Amino acid sequence: EPEVTQTPSHQVTQMGQEVILRCVPISNHLYFYWYRQILGQKVEFLVSFYNNEISEKSEIFDDQFSVERPDGSNFTLKIRSTKLEDSAMYFCASIRGRTPEEKLFFGSGTQLSVL
């Protein structure tokens, strides 16, 4: 089965530093997402991206966050100035289309630890 690939699997950073989380969605998929899961809490939607622009974002996704698809294959999430509360597992996901039958594929996640 095709896979969404995320790198790195673990990222440790100091508070206030910028981090970039990387994802390679499945090649024929058109819609891309970031979710996060704080330890012991729900998986939460952050942002959706289609046609090189954000189509929807949650209240979590403030101006410290940005997403980009710089080269047609990678999909990145940047956190400009990390806070302790940004520590979480971040999942990238992609889907081919918006019909109900389509399945959302998730990557294995990047565990971000902000110290």
Partner 1 sequence: AQSVAQPEDQVNVAEGNPLTVKCTYSVSGNPYLFWYVQYPNRGLQFLLKYITGDNLVKGSYGFEAEFNKSQTSFHLKKPSALVSDSALYFCAVRPARQGGKLIFGQGTELSVKP
Q: Are 18 and 38 in contact (CB under 8 A)?
A: no
Give dist(CA 102, CA 98) in Å, integer. Answer: 7
Strand bridging mode 75-79 / 65-68: antiparallel
Q: Is residue 104 part of the contact set for partner 1 (CB under 8 A)?
A: yes
Q: Are 106 and 43 in contact (CB under 8 A)?
A: no
H or E segment to which residue 13 belongs: strand 10-13
Q: Which of 13, 66, 76, 108 binds partner 1 (CB under 8 A)?
A: 108
Subset of 53-82 contacting partner 1 (CB under 8 A): 55-56
Site string for partner 1, 29-58 (x = CB under 8 A): --x-x-x-----xxxxx--x-x----xx--
Q: Which residues bind partner 1 (CB under 8 A)?
A: 4, 6, 9, 31, 33, 35, 41-45, 48, 50, 55-56, 91, 93-95, 98, 100-109
